[in-house]
Amino acid sequence: MAKVICTDNNSKDFILKTYRNKKVLITGGLGFIGSNLAIRLQGL
């Protein structure tokens, strides 16, 4: 098995490349995790 090392920059770059300028449906957006996810994705 390969060892995967994630740093904050790698994670942020992955999220930016994956979700920028795309439509995303978040279910459970009124909960704690869903609402914070929506706020963060909106900022991209």
What pLDDT, in 10s, does the model give residues 5-16?
555 667 778 877
What is the value of pTM for the model shown? 0.51
C-alpha–C-alpha distance, residues 23 and 6, integer Å: 25
**CB-neighbour burial class of residue 41 (10 A; exposed 0-12, middle 13-18, buried 19+):** middle
C-alpha–C-alpha distance, residues 6 and 14, integer Å: 10
What pLDDT, in 10s, does the model give residues 28-41?
878 888 888 888 88
